[in-house]
Amino acid sequence: MYEQASHALLNEILIALKPEIGNMRLRHFYTRLGANFYAIHSLFHLLYGGRTDFKEQMVSLVETLAFRYIERVPHLRRSDLERERDYNWFMSQKWVGMALYCDRFAGDLKGLRTRLPYLQELGVNMLHIMPILDCPPGHSDGGYAVRDFRNVDTRYGTTEDVEALSATLKRRDMLLVLDVVVNHTSDEHEWAQRARRGEKKYQDYYYVFDDREMPDTYEETMPEIFPTTSPGNFTRDEAMGKWVMTVFNSYQWDLNYHNPAVLIEMIDIILFWANKGADILRLDAVAFLWKKIGGTCQNEREAHLLLQLMKDCCQVTAPGVLFIAEAIVSPSEITKYFGEDAINAKECEIAYNAALMSLLWDAVATKNTKLLNLGIKNLPNKLERATWLNYVRCHDDIGLGFADSDALLSGYDPAQHRRFLVDYFIGRYSGSPARGLPFGENSETGDARISGSLASLVGLESALENNDEGAIDTAIKTILLLHSVILSFGGIPLLYYGDAIGMLNNLEYLADPYQRDDNRWLHRSRFDWSKAERRHQHGTVECRIFSALKRMIALRKEITAFADFDNRQLFVVDNPNLLVFSRTDQQNSRNKVLVICNFNVEAQALLIAPLLPHGLFQQGSMKDICSGERITAENDALMIPPLSCYWLAD
Ligand code: OTU
């Protein structure tokens, strides 16, 4: 968009730029800056226009973009141009992700390079390495309390190791995902240290208050994130003699984006890691970016403006780099993190599908799909050229974030139903085989979330203990069923590192004084390579899970209808135990895949009549892509075996 005021300012800035910027060959930089400057300027003005130093800050932002562009090495610039041309590249069904801790999985970054064959064997080609930046040895929140945003923690390696890994991945056509913890820093970060020593400039990087007056006002409307381990949203820093906002742990200081310098620093850091070869950046806790008295300080409009700015700026310097929004918020809020408009208000290309995740766990516990179907039906439409990150579980607790309105429509009292689910997964509900732990129980609100490994939550741990073949079978089927949904739903499936071999809960964290109060470590165990070896031993649990997943992943990559082009149709069917949807190939609308999942422990019937008008089951039978078998309707109905899934094609 061309607009005089902003273009005049752009010209002024370009003339005033430091000579080393003006002289470089920056053709692509300038065309992108020209295209995005109106948006950048308007957004920056909306947020910071009232400041006397507005113009200086604006110049400093543009300089940051230019300097990082100058540093961007030729092969990354080439990849930017390729991705500009092939702009739907990440919507393809060929991508399958996995999140892992580099130390827990492979010792360190060098070790990780030697373990890539395992990922490739499974078919994983997008690697999210959990945060690896320098953290204090003790209070690190699993890497989310960063002490130095530009250095890799010596426990994992060096920045050069990241670059080497990125190059290795590129050769194997794999993507690298890194975290940028945009919302807060460790209290040992240099900015926090200097704030503590009384430097006003750095106190302004955080929400710092002399007394309890402002904190108390904020607290009236702010919920608590870690009520058991870190109650309240403010911490008294004795050395500074002041209160500082700490929404997460008391040692994680919230950055204050009311200060433009903070935003510019963070954009600089984003571009720094883009330049080290990250293909995708996972922006942590984006819902929390903007705090405002009287609000919940989550999902504020300004948080979205900040993300739009980050995106617009990244598109100027490193347009091939994508963002993942980590916003574990209500379904109606999540989709807003894609942005409200693909051109004018773009935010993150990818977002965690926390809604689907929580709905899947509901279906596991209730063994029906009432809420799952409603939740999917009512999932707000997302932007074009935006895609979900679909996951069964991740390194965090499982929050039951489905919409209350959907729970009501399913015939549940939302609070009571959530209590049932927590009880079910922590094994407090009689007959439940699950072995989870409650996380973040809030006695005031009654809320709780769930920790535990996938295998332990679906009953594999108890089944193995009881040597109960039937229960082992049920657990394995559930693991595969859940993955069959995330592999076919539309979006990038993100596996969690231990799940493909059925890793169980691990209590080692209790021996670590810095971990023992945070039971999310229950499902963050050291990857067991001897257990992984058994994936090749026919008949073992590991082999049964791994080989089936590997097969489904390979098949997914071949099914063009699974690419994410807003091409899913949900079928509302009579049987409340089934999830039924079709996916249609964008290139050829006759090429459809029908996905049918049965979450019940009994076989279930599906009448084919409602499918016929959609060109499905025309011949009375379809082929299951996974097993290769033909599935034939009898008496106009199909029988879907317990806890199983079909991917049906003609
Ligand atoms: C994220 O988590 C990370 O994934 C956690 O591992 C960190 O502890 C946390 O940020 C702080 O850095 O912010 O938008 O319910 O889902 O804390 C969601 C707990 C987050 C997590 C929540 C989440």
User: Given pLDDT bands bounded at 50, 70 and 90, which one contains residue 232?
Assistant: very high
Chain region(s) in the chain for CATH 2.60.40.1180: 567-649
Percentage of the chain with pLDDT > 70?
Answer: 99
Question: Dihedral sign, CA of 496, 434, 450, 491?
Answer: positive
CATH architecture of the region 184-254: Alpha-Beta Complex (3.90)
pLDDT(255) > 90: yes
How buried is 626 (Cβ within 10 angstroms: 0-12 exposed, 13-18 middle, 19+ buried)?
A: middle
Task: Report the length, in residues, of the chain.
Answer: 650
**Which residue of the set 103, 134, 141, 326 is catalytic?**
326
Nearest residue (CA) to ligand 1, atom 2: 285
The DSSP call for residue 206 is B
**Tokens at residue 552, please?**
């489904």
Residues of the chain with CATH 3.90.400.10: 184-254
Q: For tokens 């499905």, name the residue.
A: 616
Of ligand 1's listed atoms, the one at least distance from the Cα of 286 is 14
CA of 425 to the centre of ligand 1 (A): 20
Classify 515 as helix, strand or coil. coil
Distance from the CA of 162 to the center of ligand 1, in angstroms? 24
Give the number of C-alpha atoms closer than 13 A to the C-alpha of residue 450, restricted to the C-beta side. Answer: 32
Instruction: Using the Cα atoms of residue 178, residue 269, residue 300 and residue 342 in order, give the sign of their dihedral.
Output: negative
**Which residue minimizes the CA distance to atom 7 of ligand 1?**
144
Ligand 1 centroid–CA 411 distance in Å is: 30
3-state DSSP of 345-373: EECCCEEECHHHHHHHHHHHHHCCCHHHH
Cα(481) to centroid of ligand 1, in Å?
A: 26
Q: How is residue 648 annotated by DSSP? A: E
Residue 284 among the catalytic residues: yes
pLDDT at res. 519: 97
In this structure, which residue's CA is closest to atom 13 in ligand 1? Answer: 285
pLDDT digits (tens, 9 = 90+) for 395-408: 999 999 999 999 99
For residue 484, the CA-to-ligand 1 centroid distance in Å is: 26
| Marked catalytic residue, from 153, 187, 284, 564 | 284
- Please check the confidence at residue 216 and state whether its pLDDT lies above 80: yes
Test site for ligand 1: of 247, 251, 326, most ligand atoms within 8 A of the Cβ: 326
Segments of 497-577 assigned E as strands: 568-570
pLDDT tens digits for range 55-103 = 999 999 999 999 999 999 999 999 999 999 999 999 999 999 999 999 9
Q: 517 an active-site residue?
A: no
Mean pLDDT value of segment 158-185? 98
Contact indicator for 217, 323 with CB cutoff of 8 Å: no
End-to-end CA distance of the chain: 47
Burial class (CB in 10 A: 0-12, 13-18, 19+), 422: buried
Interval 496-513: pLDDT, tens: 999 999 999 999 999 999
Instruction: Determine the distance separating the centroid of ligand 1 and the alpha carbon of 248, expressed in angstroms.
Output: 8
CA of 258 to the centre of ligand 1 (A): 22
Q: Which residue, 74, 143, 482, is CA-closest to 282?
A: 143
pLDDT at 7: 78
Atom of ligand 1 nearest to the CA of 144: 12
Confidence of residue 27 (pLDDT cuts 50, 70, 90): confident
Task: Report the distance separating Cα 422 and Cα 415, nearest Å.
Answer: 11
Q: Which of 248, 290, 323, 398 to mutate to test the pocket of ligand 1 (most atoms within 8 A of CB)?
A: 248
**Region 587-608: what's the mean pLDDT?**
96
The rounded Å distance from CA 285 to ligand 1 centre is: 6
How many whole angstroms separate alpha carbon 326 and alpha carbon 322?
13
Nearest CA to ligand 1 atom 20: 285
pLDDT of residue 33: 95
- In sequence order, what DSSP letters do the residues of 53-79 get, joined into one string? THHHHHHHHHHHHHHHHHHS-HHHHHH
DSSP single-letter state for residue 320:
T
Best residue among 225, 286, 290 to mutate for probing ligand 1's pocket (most ligand atoms within 8 Å of CB) is 225
> What is the CB < 6 Å shell around ligand 1?
141-142, 144, 181, 225, 248, 284-285, 287, 326-328, 395-397, 399, 449
CATH 3.30.300.30 fits 567-649, yes or no: no
* Residue pair 286/327 in contact by the 8 Å Cβ criterion: yes
Q: What pLDDT digit, counting tens, does each position of 327-366 carry? A: 999 999 999 999 988 777 899 999 999 999 999 999 999 9
- Closest atom of ligand 1 to CA, residue 329: 14
User: Average pLDDT for residues 22-37, to the nearest whole number?
Assistant: 86
* pTM reported for the whole predicted model: 0.96
